[in-house]
Amino acid sequence: MSTSAPITQDVMTIPRKLPEGGKINLVGLTRDQLREVLIENGTKEKQAKMRVGQIWQWIYQWGVRDFHEMTNLSKAYRAELDEKFEVAIPEVVTRQVSEDGTRKYLVRIAGGHEVEVVYIPEEDRGTLCISSQVGCTLTCTFCHTGTQKLVRNLTAAEIIGQVMVARDDLNEWPIPGEPKNETRLLSNIVLMGMGEPLYNFDNVRDAMKIAMDPEGISLSRRRITLSTSGVVPEIARTAEEIGCLLAISFHATTDDVRDVLVPINKRWKIDELLQALSDYPKVSNSERITFEYVMLDGVNDTDEDAHRLIDHIKRYNIPAKINLIPFNEWPGAPYKRSSNNRIRAFANIIYQAGYASPIRKTRGEDIMAACGQLKSATERARKSRKQIEAEAGLS
Ligand code: SAH
Ligand code: SF4
């Protein structure tokens, strides 16, 4: 088992106002920040609130990137905006479409880094899985992203920009004057891509506030799910400041096993985590918490584990649904997926105890778009197989 401290928050974010090519990007700014930069750059204070509303709507409601198309602003003002600002989102490097319709985008962000974004169409919804960091400072031993050494926090612009990239590709920006589509192709967001969202709290919060803003992308907070490995002190803040649904990467039922699978457990133990979770629904006024549980052959998948999992949830009286995730293998992974029979038996124990226990369907496997497989192929800074096995306690 690794003895090195697995937890560090010490990653940098490029300052959001850093002008690129001399222009300031307006994407990702909160309404207050947008007001501030407009005033700093010559917009009159008494007009600022109205201008914020107008520009906001062009960017987030209609998907317009060119100031010259913002026709309810004067020509002179549009030209001024164009001189100083830009509406910039990540650049799509590759786009792959799976046999099952799942789409995976590799997008490039400042500094030449790349992150992956996955769109999963279903009958009644379309879910976009977005990333919050390049790589991840945590080192969960079953997760491909955790093997990537290089890490940087994404800016709010880069986080909301992933949603805008997908809306572009799905051709889903409404057309002014035409009725809006009733059923949205992109109806849900899950923060389940690369990175630990609660180690990039402010940027994730600001981006999700933009996604929820009724004058723009306007997704309900109940259609956004943030998945965390268990950054306990930030869970209450998530309830208060974001209010979205919460998923927790639980994955083990004893501290000994969770210490290895999800090493942040060494810092915040299972009981501390459960305590924080039990307060979440009340504070965020939301429904059930999703317990994510990856099924690893011979590691965490016994009947006793299933019973212990239920005991934990009951002991803290947490409204919960348990999402069983068949392990997605990746090159060099130190674990195997549990058999289908084992997964079904585990699910059944949970179901009998009165909890929903859906088994997550693997989507987009042919394009390596499944959970935990995300890692840009161009990312060279990776750990060796030996290092991975050492951390998993296998050598
Ligand atoms: N860092 C956050 C969110 C990103 S991971 C977190 O850990 O919650 C999104 C989900 O995919 C998590 O539940 C994670 O545990 C799971 N996951 C990671 N690697 C996986 C793999 N190889 N197979 C199946 N699920 C995996
Ligand atoms: Fe990071 Fe989540 Fe992967 Fe753990 S499971 S290494 S927290 S992305």
Which pLDDT band holds residue 378 (cuts at 50, 70, 90)?
A: very low
Provide the CATH number for the domain around residue 264. Answer: 3.20.20.70
- Structure confidence by residue, pLDDT tens digits, 317-346: 999 999 999 999 888 899 999 999 999 999
What total of structural domains would you count in the chain?
2
Domain assignment of residue 12, yes or no? no
Angle, to 10 degrees, between the axis of helix 31-40 and the axis of helix 45-56? 130
Distance CA 189, CA 126 (A): 9
Query: Is the same domain home to 149 and 33?
Result: no
Backbone angles phi, psi at 382, to 5 degrees: -130, 160
CATH number of the domain that residue 71 is part of: 1.10.150.530
Average of per-residue pLDDT across 278-302? 89
244 is catalytic: no
Same domain? 253 vs 310 = yes
220 with 254, same domain: the answer is yes
Please indicate, yes or no, if residue 232 is contained in any of the structural domains: yes
Closest CA to 367 of 358, 377, 378: 377
Pocket of ligand 2 (CB under 6 A): 136, 138, 140, 143, 145-146, 195-196, 229, 249
Segment 98-121, tens digit of pLDDT? 999 999 999 999 988 999 999 999
CA of 229 to the centre of ligand 1 (A): 8
Looking at the structure, tell me whether residues 64 and 141 fall in a common domain.
no
Place of tokens 């937890």: 7
Same domain, 150 and 106: yes
How many Å apart are CA 135 and CA 150, to the nearest integer?
A: 6
Q: Does 1 map to a domain?
A: no
Residue bearing the CA closest to ligand 2, atom 6 = 146
Same domain, residue pair 244 and 342: yes
For residues 278 and 215, membership in a common domain is answered with yes
- Mean predicted confidence (pLDDT) in 232-251: 96
Query: Based on the domain organization, do 41 and 129 belong to the same domain?
Result: no
Please pick, among 86, 114, 116, 158, the residue that the annotation labels catalytic: 116
CA of 157 to the centre of ligand 2 (A): 22
Global confidence as pTM: 0.90
Q: Residue 318's domain spans which residues?
A: 91-391
In this model, does residue 15 exceed pLDDT 50?
no
- Among protein residues, the one with the nearest Cα to ligand 1's atom 13 is 249
Tens of pLDDT along 28-75? 999 999 999 999 999 999 999 999 999 999 999 999 999 999 999 999
Distance 21 CA to ligand 1 centre (A): 36
The percent of residues above 90 in pLDDT, for the chain, comes to 75
Known binder of ligand: residue 244? no
- In this structure, is residue 10 part of a structural domain? no
Mark whether 77 and 112 lie in a shared domain.
Answer: no
